[in-house]
Amino acid sequence: MTLRLSTARLLPSALAAAMFVAAAGSAAAATHPKPKAKPHPVARKAAESSEPAMTTDANGRSVPVLANKAWVLMDFNTGQILASSNADEPLPPASLTKMMTSYLVEQGLKSGKLKPTEMVTMSLSAWCKGGKEGDSCMFVPLNSQASLMDMLRGVVIDSGNDASKALAEHIGGSESGFAALMNAEAAKVGMTHTHFENSAGLPDPNHKASARDLALLAQAIIRNSAEYYPIYAEHEFTYNGIKQGNRNALLYTDPTVDGLKTGHTEEAGYCLTASAKRNGMRLISVIMNANSAQARADQTRVLFNWGYANFEEATPVKDGATLATAKVTYGVLPTVAVGVPQAWTLVVPKGQGGSVQTAVTLNPNLEAPIARGAVIGKVVATANGKPLGETPVVALAAVERAGFFQRLGQRISGLFSK
C-alpha cells in the first residue's frame, strides 16, 4: 500500500498509526499510536459491486472484462488457467513479491534449516525510518530482535518492508543474496516471466513478475507450506503493542477466501493474489494494476463468482484403473496394463462433468524391459467433441526382457503372423 506522509520525521509509534490507516486504503496520516485492527473501509463495500462487463474469449466462452493490466484465474488442484488477460506480461508486483519471501521462510522452517523461535535482528538497512513514501512496516525497533515466526507474520499480515528485509539479511546474508535465492526458487516453481531484485517489492526497473507466475507461486505456497498457510487468513497481528489488520479486504467479507497477499505502489497500482475454496474446489486469482483497493477486491470477487458459476471438477480416470492393454515385444509377458499413477482430475464447464470421454494413445513399438511407472502414452479427455486436457499414461506393472531363445521364438512367430 502507498503511504503518503509529510517529509517531517515521525516517531515509529506515530508512523505505525499512519501505516494502519493506510492499510485500510486511506492516504491520510493517523493520530493514534496504537489503533485497534478493524476491517478496511473497502471491505465494507466489497460485496456491493455491480454485474461485470463480459466478452467472448477464443473458446467462445463469456468471460469478465476487468479494468487492470493483467489477471488470471487458476484452478489450484490442476493448475488449469480458467481465464486470463495478459497472463505472461512481466509487471511490477509490489508487495505480491513478499509471497516469495514468506515461501522461502516457510520452506526453511519445513526443512528444519530455520527454527520458529530463532531471533532475527532489525538492522539499520532494514529498519523503517519513518516519513518515507511507500513504507509498510511491522515496526520492529532498530537493533532489536523478533522471533522468526513474528517476522513471518509481519511479512504476511502487516506487509512489513522492514520484516521482509530483515528476514532477507538473516537468511541470505544480504538482500542481494536473498534475491538470488528468490530467483532460484522461482525457477523451481516454474515462474518463467519473473525476476526479483529485492524481498519487499520496492520499485526497480528489473523487478517484475507475471500474473500467471504469481498464481503458480500461490499454488506452491498452499500446496507446500500447508502448515503455515493459515497465517495468510489471520485478520490481525499485534507486535510491540501495535495492532494491524490484514490488507486483504475479502477476508472480512467472504468466508471462502483464506489468503494470500495484497500489494500497491504508484507504479504497480493495486494488486491482489487471493484464494478461495467452495465445495471442495479451490481457485486462485491474481489481479495486477487495478486503480484502487476497492477495485482489486471487487475484481477478485467477480473472478471467483464467475469461476464457481461456470466450472466444476471431474475425475475421468480413477487411481489404478486400467485404461488399456499395451502389446510388448521381447518381454516375459506379451502385454502390460496401462493407467495413470494417480487419479486424474480436471476442471470442466459446469454440467459437463458426466459427459467426459477419454481416449488412450499408446507409443508404438513398445519393447521390454519396461519399468513400472514408465510413460508409454497419453490419455485425452473430451466433452461434446471439445478437448479438455490430456495426461500421460504409464505401465501399471514391470515387464522384464525375455531370454534369448524366447525372444527368438517371438521374432519367428512375428514373421509368420505378417
For the stretch 377-402, what's the b/e string if a residue is b when 16 or more beta carbons lie within 10 angstroms of its beta carbon?
A: bebebbbeeeebbbbebbbbebbebb
Q: Name the CA dihedral angle for 273, 278, 283, 284, rounded to a multiple of 10 degrees.
A: 10
- Specify which residues 206 forms β-bridges with: none
Q: Is 232 helix (H, G, I), strand (E, B) or coil?
A: helix
User: For residues 371 and 394, what is the distance between their CA atoms, to the nearest angstrom?
Assistant: 9
Report CA torsion sign: 85, 90, 94, 100. positive
User: For residues 53 and 46, what is the distance between their CA atoms, to the nearest angstrom?
Assistant: 17
Q: Which residue has the cell 477419454?
A: 358
- 159 classed as catalytic: yes
- 13 classed as catalytic: no
How many other β-carbons are positioned within 10 Å of the β-carbon of residue 279? Answer: 8
Task: Report helix, strand and coil shares of the chain as percent, to nearest 5.
Answer: 30, 30, 40
Q: Is 319 exposed, middle or buried (0-12, 13-18, 19+ CB in 10 A)?
A: exposed
Contacts of 388 (CB under 8 A, 6+ apart): 346, 348, 356, 381, 382
> Under a CB-based contact definition with an 8 Å cutoff, are residues 104 and 181 in contact?
yes
What single string gives the DSSP state of each residue in 55-93?
EE-TTS-EEE--SSSEEEEEETTT--EEEEESTT--B--
Give me the catalytic one of 26, 84, 85, 95.
95
Long-range own/partner contacts, residues 279-282 (CB < 8 A, 24 or more apart): 279/308, 280/313, 281/75, 281/77, 281/308, 281/311, 281/312, 281/313, 282/75, 282/76, 282/77, 282/222
Q: Which residue has the cell 532494514?
A: 126
Give me the catalytic one of 159, 225, 275, 285.
159
All three cell numbers of 325, joined, read 492393454
- 50 classed as catalytic: no
Show the CA angle centred on residue 99, arms to residues 193 and 347, nearest 5°: 70
User: For residues 198 and 402, what is the distance between their CA atoms, to the nearest angstrom?
Assistant: 58
Give me the catalytic one of 69, 85, 98, 275.
98
- Enumerate the active-site residues: 95, 98, 159
